[in-house]
Structure 1
Amino acid sequence: MAVTLVDLSRVHVVVPNFKKRLSGVTSTIIQLVPLQAQKIGVATLGPGLPDHLPKLRWWQTPGLLRRPQGASVRVWHARRNPEMLAGVVLRDVFRAPLKLVFTSASQRHHKRWTKFLIRRMDAVIATSRKTAAYLDVPNTVVMHGIDTDRFHPPADRAEAARALGLDPEQLYVGCFGRVRHQKGTDLFVYAMIELLPRYPRWSAIVAGRATAEHKGFEAELRARVEKAGLADRILFVGEHKDIERWYRPLSLFIAPQRWEGFGLTPLEAMASGVPVVAADVGAFSELIEDGVTGTLIPRDDMSAMVTAAERWMGDEVGRGQAAQNSRAHAAARFSIEGEVRRLEEICVAAIHGR
């Protein structure tokens, strides 16, 4: 697919992405930019992004020293330290007409270097109230949204399972994301090893990639599953670009992370009509209505996970109601269109000095 050359003079928002490997931040950019482009002149800059996004070439960056059409400045929207630094250098060293906006998802005390960069931003966005509490500068909370057209309940869960080569007679509980200790994949697997023998109609799906440094971690989990005699019911299906299809056969989702910046998987599950058991990390306490769309549990607590999961696995009527509640909650409060609208308001205000 050929990349169309972007007319920089019409670009009012630049979204840099200086990390080549796929990450949560990169995924956010991939989802947001096409929708932002319908509202405002926006282009990405950097590697690791698909060709369908509007992209600036590196040789176009000197053009950032000139004003865009119809405005005295453009917005540089950074999400990482190197991107903030590049914006500061462009604005303060090369005198580029830029307003710098930074989105923070971190829930930890920032290091001095990060604080130094953040203080030089013109506007700061926090992705949750928890994140905002770690910022020492004025900020606006804009929570991530989800594409509720892409993530939606299936017309028939059994058919959704059959389409993926799964047993349509089984009920499925899922855990999606990178396979590693931080993500709590081991907690999920150990909980399933305990629960599945008591619930023969249920099976489990682990979807996600183990990077090279975590291959041993994944191998150990697979060995535990094999030893428990559950290799045919705890399925490691790897990484999938069409992950929305893997939510549709699920009747329950578990987000067992030990640490998370924001965490989109509970939203993806809820938008797909799946109740969620989630550790109280990231923004999960701000996404899930406890007892209505799922259950919040303490982080790194497998016993609590087993108890909460078993409650939902054994309650078909409650699961059905929670599934409806989850979809309605995600659609009403966490649509990606709402996130795009709030970002547009912040960018327009920055461009016009409001």
Structure 2
Amino acid sequence: MTEGETPAQVGASSVDIKDVDVIAPNFKKRLSGVTSTIVQLVPYQMKLGIRIATLGPGLPAYLPHIRWTGLFGLWRPPVGRRHRIWHARRNNEMLAGLILKYVLSMPLKLIFTSAAQRHHSSYTRWLIRRMDAVAATNSRSGGFLQVEHTVIRHGVDLDLFHPPQAQDDTIAATGLPGTLLVGCFGRVRHQKGTDLFVKAMIELLPQYPDWTAVISGRITPENKGFADSLKAGIAKAGLERRIVFLGEVDDIRPWYRRLDLYVAPSRNEGFGLTPLEAMASQTAVVASDAGAYAEMIVEGETGACVPAGDYGALRDAICTYLAAPSLAALHGKAGLRHARDTFALENEARSLNRLYEALIG
């Protein structure tokens, strides 16, 4: 077992469909928030005794999975059950579940988890109304659902995201200038508010020479012009060494531990796990109120939450911590306690398992 693995991650592989009670489909090759949720959650559900398997591309080999040919086994219910659970998180996964259940007459119960914070299309509403149960990742997302639902908040894996433990978990290990680090992680694009973060850093860092800023995340071809304009602004300000684009890193976890402050300036989010990952790493957080961020942060105790898209409010909240690193350290410790008490991934797994049991008994 390697560092960061849970016992449930070791030795998992293709499983026999007759031994599966819950199927977690993943119909997207590219890494996304939904994919990340499945990757982190399934091992914890296994630890709690749920017989669950994944289906689809883009998932690590250690997760239990069924092959596409295993779908032919869905006509027979699992051992000791009358139905299986098909847990969808995307429209195409809901549609597949409906075809399996109503066209092919397979004994399935359908669940959909919604993270969207917008009015759903008529097609999506049509799909949702045909689910046997619906969950929302936060209260705001639930407000856009027009059906009965259960709020089950995402959690963070406290084994994978943890406080600093070694010299590698410090800014000194990075070779970057300064003694304090502020960061913003996620795909570099307008929706994520990367431009707001860069603008704030250009304005604030000259006043606080001990701080350095890092940005990590993928730059897609359609957002290359956006990223290039941010880099040009940084160069014009002469701050290339103090506002650094890391690109996509192989392992983001050490970077959370190296930060003294994490900033999540999104204009729009579904749920958004990065503030929880930062708090679990003992890092204070400044975030917009997009997604579920406002439900994660205890204002003035674990960080600050500002209106999405409000540059002035974001800049001022960041400035509070840049001017008082001791406050960032204090709120980082409070954030760790809050993440452990309220947002442990095991809590999400237990809540989902209760929903499963209510459907298949």
**TM-score, normalization: structure 1?**
0.96
Report Cα offsets for 1:120-160 as digits up to 9, x if no partner: 00010000000111111110000000011211111367853
User: 1:166-315 counterparts in 2 under 5 A?
Assistant: 166-167=176-177, 169-315=178-324
Q: State the partner residue of 1:152.
A: 162
Task: Summarize the Cα distance change of 1:159–1:340 in structure 2 as closer, same or farther, 3 Å threshold.
Answer: closer
Cα distance between partner residues in 2 of 1:242 and 1:127: 25
- 1:208–1:260 Cα change, 3 Å: same
Distance 2:151 2:198 in 1: 34
SS at match of 2:260: strand
Q: 1:82 to 1:159 in 2, by over 3 A?
A: closer
Is the contact between residue 174 and residue 253 of structure 1 (CA under 8 Å) also seen in structure 2?
yes
Alignment of 1:140 onto 2:150 = yes
For 1:238, give the aligned amino acid: G
**Contact 2:171/2:180, CA 8 A, preserved across alignment:** no
Does 2:132 correspond to 1:112?
Answer: no
Long gaps (5+) in structure 1: none
Is the 8 Å Cα contact of residues 163 and 281 (structure 2) preserved in structure 1?
Answer: yes
Match of residue 125 from structure 1: 135
**1:166 Cα shift?**
3.4
User: Which residue is equivalent to 1:344?
Assistant: 353
The answer to whether the Cα contact below 8 Å between 1:161 and 1:248 also exists between their aligned partners in 2 is no
Write the distance in 2 (CA, Å) between the matches of 1:94 and 1:166.
58
* One-letter amino acid matched to 2:263: I
Task: State the alpha-carbon separation in 1 of the partners of residues 39 and 306 from structure 2.
Answer: 31
Q: Which deviates the most, 64-73 or 311-320?
A: 311-320
Give distance in 1, aligned partners of 2:55 and 2:169.
41
Q: Are 1:78 and 2:88 an aligned pair?
A: yes
- Which of 32, 38, 50 is 1:40 aligned to? 50
* Partner residue in 1 for 2:110: 100
Which contiguous aligned blocks of 4+ residues in structure 1 show a shift greater than 2 angstroms?
1-5, 155-167
* Deviation by residue 1:86-140 (Cα, 9 ceiling, x = unmatched): 0011001111000000000001111110000000000100000001111111100
Other-structure match for 2:7: none
What is the match of residue 330 of structure 1?
339
What amino acid sits opposite 2:83 in the alignment?
V
**How far is 1:60 from its partner?**
1.2
Deviation at 1:5, TM superposition (A): 2.6
Identity of aligned residues (%): 53
Can you give the 5+ residue segments of structure 2 that lack an aligned partner in the other structure?
A: 1-9
CA distance in 2, matches of 1:267, 1:95: 41
Distance 1:255 1:9, change over 3 A: same
Q: Is the 8 A contact 1:274 1:327 kept in 2?
A: yes
Show the counterpart of 1:66.
76
Deviation at 1:2, TM superposition (A): 9.5
User: What is the deviation of 1:312?
Assistant: 1.1
**Retained in 2: the 8 A contact 1:2–1:51?**
no
| Contact 1:145 1:339 (8 Å CA) reproduced | yes
Note closer, same or farther for the CA distance 1:159–1:166 as it changes in structure 2 (3 Å cut): farther
Structure 1 vs Structure 2 CA RMSD:
1.5
1:51 aligns with 2:51: no
Give how far 1:164 is off.
Answer: 3.5
DSSP 3-state at the match of 1:182: helix
Instruction: Give the direction of change, closer, same or farther, for the CA distance of 1:204–1:343 in structure 2 (3 Å limit).
Output: same
Q: What's the CA shift for 1:162? A: 3.2
Residue 263 of structure 1 aligns to which amino acid in structure 2?
G
Displacement after TM superposition at 1:3 (Å):
7.7
SS in 2 for 1:56: coil
Q: Note the alpha carbon deviations across 1:286-337, whole angstroms, 9 max, x for none.
A: 0001111111111111111111111111113322221111000011000001
